Structure 1
């Protein structure tokens, strides 16, 4: 009896859909944001909330090789360092996106790569490499969501 009802419901032609109403610029922008978010969500994996700071290649902020990461590559834009506890979830080579939870800093759709580590005393932290001391200082410290990109 149920299968007959399902069959009859599925075999009926679909009702015609009305034409979409014209959108305002704000509605179009909101729709585009939703589509981008859905696309990013479909390609994302595990995530964590961490304290984010920035660093650059000064010997006072790094070890004796300020321009070389823990993986042996040179520092450059897009490189991040993680505390050792976060390296368990996001190992070297992981590609991640960042979202500033305060909403003050926009990372856009930029993808970062985990290539460096922080001092052993740091936990729950991420350091973003920046090209200048001024940029690193202006970034300050903030809470971010780190999400792995599949």
Structure 2
């Protein structure tokens, strides 16, 4: 059996292009069968989050303590001014717990609130569903409905500067200076009321 060569091409060129085409098809078929054309595996979300965090830290200029404090103060001012207008007298009956500054009860930065301020006596964290009614910067009073007397609440005004995990709802977390104070607070029902 004889092959018919294409006009203008030699038999050697035809064999070369045929062998190249055969090799290419074999490569593609082998690659397809081994799954190399499948979608590449993506890194886990934790790895991706760490990479983003590292990139941001590498690009961020070093700040001094005073500039960090002023940045936090600007953040609180911005959060307070961008919040919906607050009316006094809004109140809600909610569940209350207490927390203190440990990574097990907070996140990796236990002394910094969600608004960027430092935790202190009088700071409360609201569940995210309550933040719509009592946005960051809202000043509130707390009335204990559990029947237990608490001198900690008498005449005090608290400030909403922190938030809680998204899975928690209708809850106010009161910051305490020590674990023993947080345990003494326990879990109780309270009424919070916005004040001017």
TM-score clears 0.5:
yes
The higher-RCO structure (CA 8 Å, 6+ apart) is 1
RMSD over aligned Cα atoms: 1.2
Q: Does 1:49 align with 2:71?
A: no
- Please give the TM-score of this superposition, normalised by the length of structure 2: 0.54
CA distance in 1, matches of 2:183, 2:146: 17
Report how many aligned residue pairs link the two structures: 108
Q: In the alignment, which residue of structure 2 is the partner of 1:113?
A: 159
Comparing 100-109 with 83-92, greater Cα deviation is found at 100-109
**Structure (1 or 2) with the greater strand fraction:** 1
Q: In the alignment, which residue of structure 1 is the partner of 2:27?
A: none
Q: What are the within-5 Å matches in structure 2 for residues 95-134 of structure 1?
A: 95-106=139-150, 107-134=153-180
Give 4+ residue runs of structure 1 displaced > 3 Å after superposition: none
Q: In the alignment, which residue of structure 1 is the partner of 2:118?
A: 74
Change (3 A) 1:44 1:103: farther
CA distance in 1, matches of 2:180, 2:194: 28
Instruction: List alignment gaps of at least 5 residues for structure 1.
Output: 1-42
Task: Determine helix, strand or coil for the equivalent of 1:144.
Answer: strand
- Please give the TM-score of this superposition, normalised by the length of structure 1: 0.70
Rg: which structure is higher?
A: 2
